[in-house]
Amino acid sequence: MHSKILSSAEKLEGSMVKTLARLCSIPAVSPHNGGTGEDAKILELAKIIDELGLKDIALKVEHVDDEKAQSGRRPSLFLEYPGKKPQRLCILSHIDVVPEGDKSAWTLDPFKPEVRGTRLYGRGVSDNGMCLVSSLFALKALQDAGITPEYSILLAFVCDEEMGSHYGLEQLIERDIFRADDLVVVPDSGNDAGDFIEIAEKSMLKMKFTVTGKQVHAAYPTHGINACRAANILAHEVDEALHKKFTQENPLFDVPFSTFEPTRRAANVPAVNIVPGREVFEFDCRILPEISLDDVIAAVNEVVSDVEKRTGAKISVDFEGSNAAEPTRKDSEVCRLLMKSVKEVLNIEPLAGGIGGGTFAAFFRKKGIPAVVWSQECDGVAHQPDEYTEISYIVNNAKVFALMMAGE
């Protein structure tokens, strides 16, 4: 049966490439990021599914209200197909993309995908169009081979992932769509080798510091309070305190320790001879699940209080974060099934571990539904000019998903 499924997927390569190019010619950028949303792309996807001639499927569109959207709501499409078992294999991809950014940095029109050699170029062909198409054609490959899936299938094509999923999965998961025994695969992260399965994520914490002093002429600094100096002291001491206090390591993660990175700093004064009275800077923190965010926040507030007393500046901190969910077990049914299929297709032994980033999978894990993240995808091309995917990766992903569907 293996060879029949794999051969069936290989025959669909040309159709997969054409379908991916067709979908990625439609910008699906969030209305909160300067775009018009996903409506047109959802309609085209539904048309493509109809043209594929898939039998016995059920399609349903779920909407989430969004006043910024042209239609006042954001669409996500769900496809269900019955298998031998009522238990479902769910594969979730997202239909939205990020904007093209600096168009002059592209060597093609971002929304006119082009095949160049072994690659397809265009915005969204890797993130996340490739796996959207692969999941759909995995089911097509099974039907063409005359094989009934072992599991019932739920393919979810959801909106708003790139802007945080507030108008997508964050609300959809609260509806009666997903089940406790679902086997969930999120093909929204991976590498060229296809040898890493993400089963855990770190807690995330963003910290925005606003330091307020008193602006004065630089020739008379004693007449004011230099917010730049206070911010420099604060950033250094927060960085030092967090790295000194939270030294735990966890080998499950590819970066096995917590990271506390000073990142963005806002512009302050327009001239060099002005002592700034206000400074704003931010930290991005990826924290091991076993560390409490409350403990991190308490450590930061302790430093803030001390720096305020020493500098005379007033400091406020905005914290935005979420605690990590329990990891998906390596011996869970969905992880074992995925490992087996990846090994069969790519002839490798994949490693299961954790990452510092955030994916759809966190929503499921927080609901107690095991979820894994995997795809074979090109490293470092997502969100970049001249985004591309290797055509062979589209086919390989479809093969892996098809074997999973078949329970092989």
**pLDDT tens digits, one per residue of 139-181:** 999 999 999 999 999 999 999 999 989 999 999 999 999 999 9
Question: Choosing from 39, 62, 66, 96, which is the catalytic residue?
Answer: 96
Q: What was the pLDDT predicted at 359?
A: 85
Q: What was the pLDDT predicted at 4?
A: 95
Quick one: which of 20, 13, 191, 114 has its CA closest to 386?
A: 114
> How many independent structural domains does the chain possess?
2
Determine the Cα–Cα distance for residues 268 and 316; give it in Å rounded to an integer.
17
| pLDDT > 70 fraction of the chain, expressed in percent and rounded | 100
The domain that contains 230 carries what CATH number? Answer: 3.30.70.360
For the question of residue 96 being annotated catalytic, the response is yes
**Domain range for residue 315?**
203-322
Asked if 8 and 125 sit in the same domain, the reply is: yes
Determine the Cα–Cα distance for residues 112 and 110; give it in Å rounded to an integer.
6
Question: Choosing from 62, 161, 162, 279, which is the catalytic residue?
Answer: 161
Task: Check if the beta carbon of residue 227 is closer than 8 Å to that of residue 213.
Answer: yes
Determine the Cα–Cα distance for residues 133 and 23; give it in Å rounded to an integer.
9
Q: What was the pLDDT predicted at 249?
A: 97
Residue that is last in its domain, among 285, 302, 322: 322
User: pTM, whole model, 2 decimals?
Assistant: 0.89
Residue that is last in its domain, among 283, 307, 322: 322
Residues of the chain predicted below pLDDT 50:
none
Instruction: Give 227-245 pLDDT, tens digit per residue.
Output: 999 999 999 999 999 999 9
Q: What was the pLDDT predicted at 276?
A: 98
Amino acid at 161: E
For the question of residue 161 being annotated catalytic, the response is yes
Determine the Cα–Cα distance for residues 406 and 408; give it in Å rounded to an integer.
5
Q: What was the pLDDT predicted at 360?
A: 85
Asked if 314 and 344 sit in the same domain, the reply is: no
Asked if 214 and 162 sit in the same domain, the reply is: no
Q: What was the pLDDT predicted at 2?
A: 84
Q: What was the pLDDT predicted at 125?
A: 98
